[in-house]
């Protein structure tokens, strides 16, 4: 099996690109580093392509290892044939390899094994041959042996049938074809598992009498059914085309259905299917469907998490973090534009205290003292009551103050974490949530990397999927986001630094310690003085590190140290030097001149790859650029919309909070996010909602249905 060619075909790229990428991965280079700084080598494979390549590489290498193990095991048994070798070579998935190995695998004492111990295998072979000149009963008499436990002709025939049934079940060709029948014609059917209507879990009501073909059922329904079954709310059965499957096996085995052999083998095939094949094939199909559904859910979660992490920061603002609550009071934290904590307090404007005027007075004083222009309100319990309070308070203030609703998913996880204790040892756990909410508005990426990605509240069924696989995928997503943005080495926390290519948690802590002991880092190469950060780690991380106000203006860009000389040659060719990058007037002219550079000709002149040259030009045109600045900004509000204010036909602006298989949830400023069903995302057919919207997008929506009883809103983007 040519692993490189398989991956190349799947990614629709050249074999040489895959081969080069694998070589770089095997040498220990990280995905972000390869994607950014080895484009010439890989032919420009993106970080997403490289992660897919990496996953498939691991799978196919494991597949090859398993094939070799199976081959060796069968060979040791003296049963390896050319047909088995060829079948193993052609196997594309692990399930096929296991089906090939099935007949040679050590089994528990099955009925067939017991029959073989009784010496009935020759009788089974005779039944399969179906020689009409041989009378079955006469042949079976020869196998009666009281000592071996065969007391009669009937017992001998039954034992032979058990051997044949197991052979049929173990046949890899049959199993492969049976699965095809099931995937093509099978039905997933569910019903309520409760004995009475009162016992029914209404959460799963749609699955109390439900069926859908296997080939059409979407992944989110597979995961919902799995969860419902786990909670004993529903039971599931896969309805298979049993008659077609049995007919397929019998056509291959039975020569004449109208004689005694035909009758015996018909019974044997049916027994093999019901007793042996059906349960194991059903388990495999369910496992396969679940695995694919989990992969889809993990992919959706990853896409959503990346959008959330790449949310636009609100820079240069002093922010009041407002963590809503009822009885225990709303926690307040004031953060300056650098993220430094200025003040904390607790106010009680909500039920049951209702100290509205006292709370207004205290918060107005903080707003005036610290010149606060933005309030970040968490979207948890008491959020809408708090929003109403904040809106009323803002209307009474002379200066311009706005508020934004911020997802507080995971804030409580952060508040009680070891990291939060280290950052704010003297601050009460409950107040740390307000700090996190404020900082999320200022810099979503820097704050969210402190939280386990599973806790950031996007995606669906994240607690039901393979947790190891989810963690691996999300770690990759966070790495890509952090390295895409770049990290200010003099302000970054260890949490943020640990996601930089080539930097682990130990090195991240060492960087911060070095910074604390020696003051601000002035240039990238100074990192080589940090304990455990050697030349290999430096090569991987250097381009993603930013040094503002340092010795080299190139270090506020993503230009890698290995390309400094080329960048300076490029600047010299248009009449400038690197120091001019910090002069805003000269920068305008540099940008114009760089846009007119002949890529092919200049790449040859300064001896650099064309892709690398394009990246250098992009970086020199926008030194210090933050790619998140191009993302949609949060919707800033100064007044509140109540659920009762909603009317069908209303057109509103909203923020996409979550994207799932069946649509998107949009925050329109009322208590619960509204759902834009997949059918309402566009006038055109939509296969994948993430093709249309992303988390953080600001969208215009129309209210199409209001469910007052359940406080649910249906929205449409078909305006």
Contacts of 368 (CB under 8 A, 6+ apart): none
pLDDT tens for each residue of 689-701? 988 998 888 899 9
Q: Is the pLDDT of residue 477 over 80?
A: yes
Separation between Cα atoms, residue 658 and residue 675, nearest integer Å: 10
CATH of domain 111-298: 1.10.3500.10
Tokens of 564: 């400094």
**CATH classification for the domain delimited by 319-442, as one of 3.40.50.300, 3.30.1300.10, 3.30.420.140, 3.30.950.10:** 3.30.420.140
pLDDT digits (tens, 9 = 90+) for 342-391: 999 999 999 899 999 999 999 999 999 999 989 999 988 888 889 889 98
Report the CATH number of the 3-104 domain.
1.10.10.650
pTM above 0.85, yes or no: no
pLDDT band at 639 (very low <50, low <70, confident <90, very high): low
pLDDT computed for residue 709 by the predictor: 81
Q: Is the pLDDT of residue 310 over 80?
A: yes
Pinpoint the residues of the chain covered by CATH 2.40.50.140: 643-716
Looking at the predicted structure, is the pLDDT value of residue 164 above 70?
A: yes
- Residue with token string 């397929």: 248
Three-state SS sequence of 242-289: HHHHHHHHHHHHCCCCCCHHHHHHHHHHHHHHHHHHHHHHHHHHHHHH
Structure tokens at 672: 């619960």
* Domain 512-630: CATH superfamily, name plus number: Tex RuvX-like domain-like (1.10.150.310)
Q: Note the pLDDT tens digit of each residue in 226-270.
A: 999 999 999 999 999 999 999 999 999 999 888 899 999 999 999
552: left (phi over 0), alpha (psi -120 to 50) or beta: beta
Q: How many CB atoms lie within 10 A of CB 710?
A: 8
pLDDT at position 308 is: 83
Are the beta carbons of 683 and 677 closer than 8 angstroms? no
The per-residue DSSP string of 645-662 comes to G--TT-EEEEEEEEEETT
Residues 6+ apart with CB under 8 A from 242: 273, 278
Give per-residue pLDDT as tens, 424-459.
Answer: 899 999 899 999 999 999 988 988 888 887 777 666
Mean pLDDT, the chain, whole residue set: 91
Q: Assign residue 339 a region (left: φ > 0; alpha: ψ between -120 and 50; beta: otherwise).
A: left
Residue 637 binned pLDDT confidence (cut-offs 50, 70, 90)? low
Measured distance CA(152)–CA(120) in Å, rounded: 12
Q: Are 120 and 163 in contact (CB under 8 A)?
A: yes
Q: Is 610 left (phi over 0), alpha (psi -120 to 50) or beta?
A: alpha
Mean pLDDT lowest among 313-317, 491-495, 628-632: 628-632
Residues in Cβ contact with 314 at an 8 Å cutoff, skipping those fewer than 6 apart: 374, 441, 442, 633, 634
**pLDDT for res 564:** 96
Give CATH for domain 643-716: 2.40.50.140
Task: Flag the least confident range among 37-51, 71-85, 411-425.
Answer: 411-425
Percent of all residues in the chain with a pLDDT value above 70, rounded to a whole number:
98
pLDDT single digits (tens) 168-185: 999 999 999 999 999 999
pLDDT at residue 457, as a whole number = 65
Q: What is the pLDDT of residues 81-95, one digit of tens each?
A: 999 999 999 999 999
Please name the residue that has the structure tokens 């291959």. 252
């Amino acid at each position: 099996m040519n692993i490189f060619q398989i991956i190349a075909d799947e990614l629709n790229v050249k074999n040489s690109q895959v081969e080069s990428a694998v070589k770089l991965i095997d040498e220990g280079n990280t995905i972000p580093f390869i994607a950014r700084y080895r484009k010439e080598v890989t032919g420009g494979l993106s970080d997403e392509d490289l992660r897919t390549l990496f996953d498939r590489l691991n799978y196919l290498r494991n597949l090859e290892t398993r094939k070799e193990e199976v081959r060796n095991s069968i060979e040791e048994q003296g049963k390896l044939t050319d047909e088995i070798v060829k079948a193993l070579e052609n196997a594309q998935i692990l399930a096929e390899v296991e089906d090939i190995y099935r007949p040679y695998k050590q089994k528990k004492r099955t009925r067939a094994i017991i029959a073989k111990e009784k010496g009935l295998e020759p009788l089974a072979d005779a039944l399969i041959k179906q020689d009409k000149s041989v009378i079955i009963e006469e042949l079976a008499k020869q196998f009666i042996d009281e000592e071996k436990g065969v007391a009669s002709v009937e017992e001998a025939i039954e034992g032979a049938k058990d051997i044949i049934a197991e052979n049929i079940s173990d046949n890899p060709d049959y199993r492969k074809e049976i699965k095809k029948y099931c995937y093509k014609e099978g039905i997933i059917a569910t019903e309520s598992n409760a004995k009475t209507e009162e016992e029914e879990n209404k959460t799963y009501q749609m699955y109390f009498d439900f069926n859908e073909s296997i080939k059409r059922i979407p992944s989110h329904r597979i995961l919902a059914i799995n969860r419902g079954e786990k909670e004993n709310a529903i039971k599931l059965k896969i309805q298979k085309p049993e008659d077609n499957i049995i007919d397929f096996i019998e056509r291959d085995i039975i020569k004449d259905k109208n004689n005694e052999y035909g009758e015996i083998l018909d019974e044997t095939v049916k027994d093999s299917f019901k007793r042996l094949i059906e349960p194991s094939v059903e388990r495999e199909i369910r496992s396969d469907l679940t695995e694919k559904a989990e992969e889809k859910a993990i992919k959706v979660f990853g896409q959503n998490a990346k959008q959330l992490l790449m949310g636009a920061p609100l820079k240069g603002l002093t922010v009041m973090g407002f963590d809503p609550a009822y009885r225990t009071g709303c926690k307040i934290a004031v953060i300056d534009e650098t993220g430094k904590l200025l003040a904390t307090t607790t106010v009680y404007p909500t039920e049951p205290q209702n100290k509205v005027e006292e709370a207004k007075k205290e918060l107005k004083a903080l707003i005036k003292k610290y010149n606060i222009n933005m309030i970040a309100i968490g979207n948890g319990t008491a959020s809408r009551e708090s929003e109403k309070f904040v809106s009323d308070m803002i209307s009474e203030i002379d200066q311009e103050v706005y508020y934004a609703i911020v997802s507080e998913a995971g804030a409580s996880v952060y508040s009680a974490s070891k990291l939060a204790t280290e950052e704010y040892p003297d601050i009460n756990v409950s107040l740390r949530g307000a700090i996190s909410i404020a900082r999320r508005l200022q810099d979503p990426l820097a704050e969210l990397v402190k939280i386990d990605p599973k806790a950031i509240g996007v995606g669906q069924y994240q607690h039901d999927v393979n947790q190891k696989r989810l963690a691996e995928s999300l770690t990759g997503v966070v790495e890509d986001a952090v390295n895409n943005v770049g990290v200010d080495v003099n302000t970054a926390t260890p949490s943020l630094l640990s996601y930089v290519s080539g930097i682990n948690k130990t090195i991240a802590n060492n960087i911060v310690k070095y910074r604390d002991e020696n003051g601000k880092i002035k240039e990238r190469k100074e990192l080589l003085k940090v304990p455990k950060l050697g030349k290999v780690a430096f090569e991987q991380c250097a381009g993603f590190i930013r040094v503002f106000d340092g010795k080299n203006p190139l270090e506020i860009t993503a230009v890698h140290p290995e390309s400094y000389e080329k960048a300076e040659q490029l600047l010299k060719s248009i009449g400038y030097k690197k120091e001019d990058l910090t002069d805003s007037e000269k920068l305008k002219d540099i940008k114009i001149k760089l846009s007119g550079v002949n890529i092919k000709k200049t790449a040859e002149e300064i001896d650099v790859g064309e892709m690398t040259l394009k990246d250098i030009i992009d970086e020199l045109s926008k030194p210090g650029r933050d790619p998140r600045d191009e993302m949609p900004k949060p919707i800033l509000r100064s007044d509140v919309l109540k659920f009762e204010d909603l009317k069908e036909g209303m057109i509103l602006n909203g923020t996409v909070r979550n994207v799932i298989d069946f649509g998107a949830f949009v925050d329109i400023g009322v208590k619960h996010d509204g759902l834009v069903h997949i059918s309402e995302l566009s006038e055109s057919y939509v296969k994948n909602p993430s093709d249309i919207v992303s988390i953080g997008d600001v969208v215009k929506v129309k209210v199409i249905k209001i469910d007052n009883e359940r406080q649910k809103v249906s929205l449409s983007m078909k305006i």
